[in-house]
């Protein structure tokens, strides 16, 4: 037996002896956290990928998990009465040892680094806010692989976990007694799909009642499914884990005694030996220990397997002595260079007289220069990376664009010259006025946008009437629409749509919206627009764009829209 094995066995015996020592006085509280991290070496947070390969193979790491509102008491109406534990943050340093490609021993030490809560009295039993920091119950585990192997469609293992009473009841990190959990574990891979499952029974000596719900032994279960990506170095997928008490009908499948959590996690093996993970989730029930929100991160060192197959030599298709993996021209014999862009290529691919090893543009013929950055490249007088042949401003440094008129020129910070910078101008190519609404800032009152004439303020009507409300506001927006139609004779047909909120009957709103659309058409015809270019339709309350349950939403729904039906003899897009 190795020294590592003897050391782990001694630690196991010492902690087991401590767990069955003299009983301590019971205090209000119990092991609240439902998050039990998988043994180190797993590619899940709670579930186990059952990587039991190797002999005397150590894995070690730390998992941090945080829970928000893991223990809240609600009244009969579902309203919150008190938050016994509001925040609970644990770190779980731990390690595992794999022996004989089949057996694994694990150790996890939970430490509550931060907790808070309100405390209080529930049904006559007083609870104090949890203390920080506080130890949790140290977990010792052992598992044996029964069939299958890591990466097979099905791997099955059985094991036993002991939670030693090293934590504090008053800090909600222990039951104050030994917990024992025999369990079955399963995992498997099918191509890039990966899954895991767990079923266990946990003996708990706790016999308290919290808010009328009994604590005690319980059945635990968990499942996960996900994908292996990035050459199997990335595992991503959801995990669901929970339990239900078996201490009589008052516990079995009852909400308070049946916490159920879900999380979405990702684990990335960023090197041969190191893996990081991150995840977040929430409780799906109001069971004790099932939080309103949960988050976790992990960092693990995963020992590599001792036996490795030597990699085959890389191929060299063109036989030039430069392997294809680093050959920039793998099908054409060349020469070896230190530049990855020319390594294995002929010495002057573009035939410009500048050898590829010093040619900054080895695939584009250019001219020789003393500047290593431009040697062998076509001329670029201003050095902005846009060659003079395509540079609209060859003597002034600029930026590359897809427009030949501006390619290589400095960017115009205010294209429409309305004194509103492009970066905050909602209509950077159409001059407008400042507006506190970022969606309207810099936009004119009316402008053509794709298949609509967009208006940034609405035509106002007398309440429950199709009469256009007199005054500056309505005149301003209608005159803006008139101006757009006069400036854009290519707009052959424009549909004026009327819309209402849901106040009143559907029939009345339909008639009102039609009358209002007709009123806008009449105003435009009166002011010189040919009637044949215009049509009207009322949709009433049929097409809301906002929530009619709020005043702001109803205000947005009372609107006029202008849709272009035909442009230059063709239908609008």
Closest C-alpha to 175, from 211, 199, 203: 203
- Every domain of the chain and the residues it spans: 38-302, 445-571
Distance CA 31, CA 138 (A): 12
438-445 LR contacts (CB < 8 Å, sep 24+): 442/416, 442/418, 444/480, 445/476, 445/477, 445/480
Average pLDDT of span 136-148: 95
Write the DSSP string, 29-47: --------PPPTT-SSSSS
Helices (H), 93-169: none
pLDDT digits (tens, 9 = 90+) for 210-232: 666 667 889 999 999 999 999 99
Beta strand residue intervals within 205-309, DSSP E = 209-210, 213-214, 218-229, 234-245, 260-268, 274-283, 293-302
Distance CA 501, CA 304 (A): 66
- 6 touches 14 (CB < 8 A): no
pLDDT band at 500; cut points 50, 70, 90:
very high
pLDDT at residue 16, rounded to an integer: 38
Whether the per-residue pLDDT at 190 is higher than 80: the answer is yes
Average pLDDT of span 368-391: 83
CA dihedral of 356, 360, 364, 366, whole degrees rounded to 10:
-100
pLDDT at residue 211, rounded to an integer: 61
pLDDT at residue 3, rounded to an integer: 44
pLDDT at residue 251, rounded to an integer: 57
pLDDT band at 8; cut points 50, 70, 90:
very low
CATH superfamily membership of 38-302 = monomeric porin ompg (2.40.160.40)
pLDDT digits (tens, 9 = 90+) for 88-110: 999 999 999 999 999 999 999 99
Question: What is the number of other CB atoms lying within 10 angstroms of the CB of residue 86?
Answer: 20
Distance CA 224, CA 147 (A): 20
pLDDT band at 248; cut points 50, 70, 90:
low
Helix (H, G, I), strand (E, B) or coil at 152: coil
> Distance between alpha carbon 414 and the CA centroid of its chain, in Å?
35
Distance CA 384, CA 398 (A): 6
pLDDT band at 380; cut points 50, 70, 90:
confident
- 540 touches 509 (CB < 8 A): yes
Distance CA 427, CA 440 (A): 8
* pLDDT higher at 237 or 121: 237
Distance CA 189, CA 184 (A): 18
Q: Phi and psi of 8, rounded to 5°?
A: -65, -40
pLDDT band at 376; cut points 50, 70, 90:
confident
Count Cβ neighbours within 10 Å for each residue of 381-397 and write b for 16 or more, e otherwise.
ebebebbeeebeebeeb
- From the candidate CATH numbers 1.10.1740.10, 2.60.40.10, 3.40.1190.20, 3.30.1330.60, the one assigned to the domain spanning 445-571: 3.30.1330.60
pLDDT at residue 255, rounded to an integer: 66
**Burial bucket for residue 538 (CB in 10 Å: 0-12, 13-18, 19+):** buried
pLDDT at residue 408, rounded to an integer: 78
Report the residue count for the chain: 573
Helix (H, G, I), strand (E, B) or coil at 98: strand
Average pLDDT of span 79-85: 77
* pLDDT higher at 230 or 353: 230
Cα distances (angstroms) measured from residue 175 to each of 20, 32, 48, 178, 291: 13, 9, 25, 8, 19
Closest C-alpha to 441, from 451, 454, 428: 428
Whether the per-residue pLDDT at 9 is higher than 50: the answer is no
Whether the per-residue pLDDT at 6 is higher than 50: the answer is no
Cα distances (angstroms) measured from residue 127 to each of 117, 151, 169, 209: 10, 47, 10, 12
Distance CA 538, CA 559 (A): 11
Q: Is the dihedral of CA 500, 503, 509, 512 positive or negative?
A: negative
Closest C-alpha to 336, from 317, 355, 357, 363: 357
- Which position has the token pair 């692989």? 145
pLDDT digits (tens, 9 = 90+) for 166-175: 998 888 888 8
Answering whether pTM is above 0.85, one says no
Distance CA 223, CA 195 (A): 8
Write out the two tokens for 138: 């140290």
Average model confidence (pLDDT) across the chain:
85
pLDDT at residue 124, rounded to an integer: 65
pLDDT at residue 519, rounded to an integer: 94
Write the DSSP string, 323-338: -TTT-SSTTS--B--S
Distance CA 197, CA 202 (A): 16
Count Cβ neighbours within 10 Å for each residue of 44-56 and write b for 16 or more, e otherwise.
bbbbbbbbbbbee
Helices (H), 358-505: 472-487
pLDDT digits (tens, 9 = 90+) for 13-26: 333 333 333 333 33
Half-sphere exposure of residue 18, counting CA atoms within 13 Å on the CB side? 17
pLDDT band at 497; cut points 50, 70, 90:
very high
Write out the two tokens for 292: 């309103």
Cα distances (angstroms) measured from residue 368 to each of 352, 361, 362: 8, 11, 12
Helices (H), 50-204: none
pLDDT digits (tens, 9 = 90+) for 12-70: 333 333 333 333 333 467 788 889 999 999 999 999 999 999 999 999 999 999 999 88
- 31 touches 137 (CB < 8 A): yes
Helix (H, G, I), strand (E, B) or coil at 48: coil
> Distance between alpha carbon 39 and the CA centroid of its chain, in Å?
25
262 Cβ contact list (under 8 Å, min separation 6)? 238, 239, 240, 281, 282, 284
Whether the per-residue pLDDT at 567 is higher than 90: the answer is no
pLDDT at residue 201, rounded to an integer: 94
pLDDT at residue 96, rounded to an integer: 95
User: Which H or E run contains 61?
Assistant: strand 57-74
């Amino acid at each position: 037996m190795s020294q590592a094995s003897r050391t782990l066995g001694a630690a196991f015996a010492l902690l087991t002896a401590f767990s069955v020592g003299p009983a301590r006085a019971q205090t209000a509280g119990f092991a609240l956290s439902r998050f039990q991290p998988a043994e180190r070496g797993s590619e899940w947070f709670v579930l186990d990928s059952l990587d039991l390969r190797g002999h005397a193979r150590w894995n070690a790491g730390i998992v941090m998990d945080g829970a928000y509102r893991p223990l809240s008491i609600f009244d009969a109406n579902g309203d919150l009465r008190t938050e016994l534990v509001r925040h609970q943050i644990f770190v779980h340093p731990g390690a595992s040892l794999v022996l004989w490609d089949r057996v694994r021993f694990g150790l996890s030490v939970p430490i509550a680094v931060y907790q808070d809560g309100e405390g209080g009295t529930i049904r006559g039993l007083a609870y104090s806010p949890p203390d920080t920091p506080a130890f949790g119950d140290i977990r010792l585990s052992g598992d044996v692989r029964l069939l299958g192997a890591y990466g097979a469609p099905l791997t099955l293992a059985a094991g036993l976990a002991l939670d030693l009473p090293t934590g504090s009841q008053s800090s909600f990190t222990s039951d104050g007694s030994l917990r024992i959990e025999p369990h079955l574990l399963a995992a498997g891979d099918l191509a890039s799909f990966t899954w895991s499952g767990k079923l266990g029974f946990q003996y708990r000596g706790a016999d308290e009642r919290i808010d009328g719900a009994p604590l005690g032994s319980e059945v635990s279960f968990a499942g996960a499914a996900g994908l292996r990506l990035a050459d199997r170095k990335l595992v991503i997928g959801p995990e669901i884990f929970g339990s239900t008490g078996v201490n009589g009908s008052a516990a079995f499948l009852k909400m308070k005694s049946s916490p159920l959590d879900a999380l979405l996690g990702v684990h990335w093996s960023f090197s041969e030996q190191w893996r990081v993970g991150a995840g977040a989730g929430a409780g799906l029930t109001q069971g004790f220990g099932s939080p309103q929100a949960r988050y976790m991160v992990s960092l693990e060192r995963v020992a590599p397997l001792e036996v490795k197959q030597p990699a085959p030599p890389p191929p060299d298709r063109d036989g030039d002595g430069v392997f294809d993996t680093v050959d920039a021209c793998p099908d054409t014999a060349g020469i070896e260079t230190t530049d990855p862009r020319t390594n294995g290529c002929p010495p002057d691919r573009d035939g410009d007289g500048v050898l590829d090893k010093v040619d900054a543009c080895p695939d584009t013929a250019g001219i020789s220069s003393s500047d290593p950055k431009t040697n062998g490249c076509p001329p670029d007088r201003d050095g902005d990376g846009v060659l003079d042949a395509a540079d609209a401003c060859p003597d002034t440094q600029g930026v590359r664009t897809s427009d030949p008129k501006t390619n290589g020129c400095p960017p115009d910070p205010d294209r429409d010259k309305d004194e509103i910078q492009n970066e905050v101008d909602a209509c950077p190519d159409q001059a407008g006025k400042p507006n506190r609404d970022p969606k309207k800032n810099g936009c004119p009152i009316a402008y053509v946008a794709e298949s609509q004439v967009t208006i940034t303020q609405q035509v106002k009507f007398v309440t429950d009437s199709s009469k256009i409300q007199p005054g500056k506001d309505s005149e301003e927006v209608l005159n803006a629409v008139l101006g757009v139609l006069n400036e854009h004779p290519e707009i052959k047909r424009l549909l004026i749509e009327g819309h209402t909120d849901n106040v009143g009957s559907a029939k009345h709103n339909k008639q009102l919206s039609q009358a209002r659309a007709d009123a806008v058409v009449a105003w435009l015809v009166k002011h010189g627009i040919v009637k044949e270019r215009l049509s009207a339709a009322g949709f009433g309350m049929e097409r809301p764009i906002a929530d009619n349950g709020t005043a702001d939403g109803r205000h947005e729904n009372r609107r006029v829209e202008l849709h272009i039906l035909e442009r230059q003899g063709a239908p609008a897009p």
